A and B are shown apart, each in its own frame.
Chain A
Amino acid sequence: MWIFLRKAVRLSAIYLYGATGEILTEKSGHLNLGTPGIMCMGAIGGCLGVRAYVGTLSSLAQMNGFAVVLIGIICAFLFGMLGGLIYSFLTVTLRCNQNVTGLTLTTFGAGLMSFVLSSIDQTGFSEASEYFRMGFVNGQDLDWFSTLFLNYGTLVYLAIAIAIIAAIVLKKTRTGLNLRAVGENPATADAAGISVGKYRYFATLTGAGIAGLGGLCYIMDSLLGTIDYEVEAFGWIAVALVIFSIWKPDLAIVGSLLFGILLNAADAMQILNKGLIKTLPYVVTVIVLVITSIINKRETQPPAALGTSYFREER
Chain B
Amino acid sequence: MEKTVAIELKGITKTFGEVVANKDVNLDVYRGEVLSILGENGSGKTTLMNMIAGIYFPDEGQIFIDGKEVVIKSPKDAFAHKIGMIHQHFKLVDVFSAADNIILGEKAPRFDMRAEVQRVKDEYAEENKRFEEYDESEHPGALAYLQKPKYHSNAQLNLKLMSLPFEEIGRKIKFNWLSRNRVKAVQSIANRFGFQIDLKKKIYDMSVSEKQTVEIIKVLYRGADILILDEPTAVLTPQEIEKLFDVIRNMRDSGKSIIIITHKLNEVMEISDRVAVLRKGEHIATVNTAETNEQELTEMMVGKKVSLNIDRTLPHDVVDRLIVKNLTAVDHEGVKVLNNISFEARSGEILGIAGIAGSGQRQLLEAIAGLYKVNEGEISYIDPFNNNEKVDLRSKTPVQIRELGVRLSFVPEDRLGMGLVGNMDLVDNMMLRSYRKGKSIFLDRKAPKILADKIVEELEVVTPSTHTAVRKLSGGNVQKVLVGREIAASPTVLMAAYPVRGLDINSSYTIYNLLNEQKEKGVAVIFVGEDLDVLIELCDRILVICAGQVTGIVEGRRAIKEQLGLLMTKTDVDENQISIDELTIKQETEQGGEEQ
Q: Which residues of A line the B interface, CB within 8 A?
A: 171-178, 180-181, 184-185, 187-195, 296, 298-299, 301, 304, 312-313, 315
Contact = CB atoms under 8 A, between A and B. Distances in A.
A301 B107 CA distance: 28
Shortest 6 CB-CB contacts between residues of A and residues of B: A192-B105, A188-B91, A193-B76, A193-B105, A194-B105, A191-B91
18 contacts: A173-B178, A174-B103, A175-B176, A177-B104, A178-B104, A180-B93, A180-B95, A180-B96, A188-B91, A188-B93, A190-B74, A191-B85, A191-B91, A195-B74, A299-B95, A304-B94, A313-B55, A313-B56
A312 B55 CA distance: 7
Tell me which of B16, B75, B95, B105 has the highest count of chain A C-beta atoms within 10 A of its own C-beta.
B105
B177 A181 contact: no
Contacts of A193: 74-76, 79, 105, 107
Contacts of A304: 94-95
A181 B93 contact: yes
Contact of B94 (A171, A173, A184): A184
Interface string B72-93: 0011100100000101000111
A174 B74 contact: no
Contacts of B218: 192
B106 A174 contact: yes
Given A178-B105, A180-B96, A192-B75, 16 more contacts: A172-B178, A173-B178, A174-B175, A174-B176, A174-B178, A175-B176, A176-B178, A181-B96, A185-B93, A188-B101, A191-B55, A193-B75, A298-B204, A304-B95, A312-B56, A313-B56
Interface residues of B, number: 31
Nearest to B84: A191
Contacts of B75: 190-193
Contacts of A185: 91-94
A interface secondary structure, majority: helix
B85 A177 contact: no
Contacts of B93: 180-181, 184-185, 188-189
B557 interface: no
A315 B105 contact: no
Contacts of A184: 93-96
Contacts of A171: 178
A190 to B, nearest CB: 6
Interface in B322-364: 333
Given A177-B100, A181-B104, A193-B75, A187 B91 contact: yes
A296 B95 contact: no
A195 B16 CA distance: 23
A127 B82 CA distance: 61
B202 interface: yes
B273 to A, nearest CB: 27
A194 B94 contact: no
Nearest to B16: A315
A217 to B, nearest CB: 29
B53 interface: yes
Contact of B178 (A177, A188, A195, A315): A177
Contact of A172 (B53, B92, B101, B177): B177
A180 B93 CA distance: 9
Nearest to A185: B93
Contacts of A301: 95
Contacts of A174: 103, 106, 175-178
Interface in B175-203: 175-178, 202
B72 to A, nearest CB: 12
Contact of B177 (A173, A296, A315): A173
A298 B94 contact: yes
Nearest to B105: A192
Tell me which of B79, B93, B204, B218 has the highest count of chain A C-beta atoms within 10 A of its own C-beta.
B93
Contact of A192 (B91, B176, B177, B333): B91
Interface in B150-189: 175-178
Nearest to A178: B105
A179 to B, nearest CB: 11
Contacts of A313: 16, 55-56
A313 B95 CA distance: 25
A174 B218 CA distance: 16
Nearest to A194: B105
Interface in B216-264: 218
Contacts of A188: 91-93, 101, 104
Contacts of A189: 93, 104-105
B210 to A, nearest CB: 16
A189 B55 CA distance: 12
Contact of B87 (A175, A176, A180, A191): A191
Contacts of B105: 178, 181, 189, 192-194
A191 B75 CA distance: 5
